[in-house]
């Protein structure tokens, strides 16, 4: 990560601890990379073991979307940032996506598949 931060002029941080609380509950993690490009903040996470080639669902990069989207929404909620995107990346490629789109899909899925989990999710977002 240090090499990336040194070589990317728009990088403003790496390995940033993040957390958000709601009552007695806490959600936490580490964003691997924070970039600012124009008026948009990008929250990146390096996933060396995930594949961009769709080899299998268990190793597909899409598995990181909820995690990285949570990080982006933590930052957005804490600082009121209007334009925020997520990046999942490794040596094979990267995917840029909108955290609010991912979270809306997760919320809709939880509402259908696991409504008992939805209230815990909504504590934070």
Contact 4, 10 (CB under 8 A): no
Residue 64's SS3 state is: helix
Residue 72 to residue 93: CA distance in whole angstroms = 20
Residues paired with residue 17 on neighbouring β-strands, in sequence order: 30
Per-residue pLDDT for 53 more than 80?
A: no
Per-residue pLDDT for 71 more than 90?
A: yes
pLDDT in tens, 7-52: 778 888 889 999 999 888 899 999 999 999 999 999 999 988 877 7
What pLDDT shows up at residue 13? 86
In this prediction, residue 73 has a pLDDT band, given cuts at 50, 70 and 90, of: very high
Residue spans of alpha helices (H) in the chain? 2-7, 65-79, 99-113, 115-122
- Domains of the chain are 2-99 (3.90.320.10)
């Amino acid at each position: 990560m240090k090499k990336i931060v040194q070589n990317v002029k728009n990088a403003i941080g790496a390995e940033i601890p993040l957390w958000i609380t709601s009552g007695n509950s806490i959600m936490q993690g580490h964003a691997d990379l924070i970039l600012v490009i124009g008026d948009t903040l990008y929250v990146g996470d390096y996933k060396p073991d995930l594949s961009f080639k769709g080899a299998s669902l268990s190793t597909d990069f899409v598995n990181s979307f909820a995690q990285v989207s949570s990080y982006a929404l933590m930052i957005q909620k804490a600082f009121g940032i209007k334009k925020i995107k997520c990046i999942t990346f490794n040596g094979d490629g990267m995917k840029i996506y909108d955290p609010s789109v991912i979270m809306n899909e997760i919320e809709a899925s939880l509402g259908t598949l696991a409504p008992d989990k939805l209230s815990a999710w909504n504590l934070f977002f």
